Structure 1
Amino acid sequence: MRLIAHRGFGDVYPENTLTAVEAAAMRADDVAVDVRRCDSGELVVIHDPTVDRITDGSGAVCRHTLDELQALDVLGTGERIPALETVLAAVPPSVGVTLELHEVGLAADALRLARRSDPQVTVSSGIAHELEGCRGIDPTVPRAYRFDGEPEVGLDFADETDCSYLHPHASVCEEWVVADAHREGMCVNAWGVGDRETATTLAERGVDGIVADCTEVLPRVEQ
């Protein structure tokens, strides 16, 4: 079962920062980061629509330029909010990157940056329009549909848009969901996995990967 570092193992390192991504890439099979657009047009790596929770600043991400965002302190660590381009350049080719697109209108720029980077990139979103846009721009880049609601709806949409991955929340990732996804040729990565017991249950249900905030949930086995 693959281990995907949610926000660069956000329970261990300052989430979505360059330090988190670089550290997570040494332990995980894939690093998942959150993507939004700032006021000066660049794509940046941050989960929330505002900077209030994770920085010493306030206000919407889309109302800050890249320079303004990078002047903020992330969680009192001295880390900065990185540009997506910088994050992609920091991930080695042997490690995958999942780009969680949280807004409409990110697809074209996200894929442009992905083409210029070496890592194996997957685009993921809970926004149907963004996944459809990604398919139209470059159907060769794998897509994942992320959801936490009715599994039937998630399965249908992922199948209709030729997604390579299904990303259900752990709470709705039942054995039949995994089986149906596999039958349609999709891999299943469950998110919202906070403990080893849940990870073990999901493994028994046949999931292909888990998206976790810490390394202890599914430690890498040393060779």
Structure 2
Amino acid sequence: MRFIGHRGMPAVFPENTALGLRRAADRCDWVEFDVRRCGSGEPVVVHDERLDRVLGLDRPVAETPLDEIRARYVDDSDQRVPTLPETVVAVPEGTTVNVELKTSGVTEQVVETADAVGNETVVSSFSATILREVNEVSALPLAPIVADADAWDDALALAVEVGAEYVHPHYDLVFASPERVDDAHDRGLEVNAWTLRSPEPYDRLSEVGVDGVFVDDPAYAGR
């Protein structure tokens, strides 16, 4: 089973930072991080729509220029919010990069950055529109993300439509209906389940045959 360092392992390091992603690459097969368009147009690595939680700044990412974002530190650490190119450079070659694309408007920058590095790059998203946009301009591997049981069939249909290689369900969906893993495999999709925040679910995920698991700390899965 592959291990995917979710947001640069926020149980151990400041989330979505170059430091966390470098360390995640030491212990995981893939690293995953979130990308949004900031107010001055650059793709930055931030999970939330707003900057309150990680920077203590009461503003949306989309309305905040890069210089203001870079003026603060993540979670009172010595790490700043990186841009997409800075993040990819921090990941050792040979480690697969999973970009969770949160917003439109940076598709071409994501594709250009992926083409410029040696790492395999997977683009995942909750948004069907975003995955279709990426599929129109590149051959990057894609992965619909799904959290809602009612959206499972639509996620599989979208995956087939855009030629995705993966589907990323919340692990509760897998536990509730383990046959979903077989459904995905029957369509040629590998299943990466998210996100372990304690050790307990790991053995169950292994038993139902998922191909990969997102972890906040690889120790949750015995690494």
Q: Structures share a fold, TM > 0.5?
A: yes
Name the residue aligned to 2:207: 204
Q: Report the secondary structure of 2:214's partner residue.
A: strand
What is the rounded CA distance, in whole Å, between the counterparts of 2:161 and 2:59 in structure 1? 37
Name the residue aligned to 1:164: 165
Q: Report the secondary structure of 1:47's partner residue.
A: coil
Name the residue aligned to 2:193: 190
Percent of paired sites with the same residue: 36
Shift of 1:153: 2.3
Q: Report the secondary structure of 1:113's partner residue.
A: helix
The answer as to whether partners of 2:6 and 2:195 remain within 8 angstroms in 1 is: no
Name the residue aligned to 2:146: 147
Of Structure 1 and Structure 2, the greater helix share is in: 2
The answer as to whether partners of 1:56 and 1:73 remain within 8 angstroms in 2 is: no
| TM-score (ref. length: structure 1) | 0.94
Letter in 2 for 1:131: L
Shift of 1:104: 2.1
> Runs of 5+ in structure 1 lacking a partner?
none
Shift of 1:200: 1.1
Alignment of 1:26-45 (within 5 A): 26-45=26-45
Name the residue aligned to 1:10: 10
Task: Report runs of 4+ in structure 1 exceeding 4 Å deviation.
Answer: none
Name the residue aligned to 2:219: 216
What is the rounded CA distance, in whole Å, between the counterparts of 1:199 and 1:154 in structure 2? 24
Shift of 1:10: 1.2
Shift of 1:160: 2.1
Name the residue aligned to 1:97: 97
Shift of 1:62: 1.4
Name the residue aligned to 1:61: 61
> Runs of 5+ in structure 2 lacking a partner?
none
Letter in 2 for 1:193: L
Shift of 1:24: 0.7
Alignment of 1:71-150 (within 5 A): 71-139=71-139, 141-149=140-148, 150=150
What is the rounded CA distance, in whole Å, between the counterparts of 1:126 and 1:105 in structure 2? 15
Q: String of CA shifts for 1:195-220, please: whole Å, max 9, x gaps.
A: 22211111111000001111112233
- Provide the aligned length of Structure 1 versus Structure 2: 219
Letter in 1 for 2:84: L
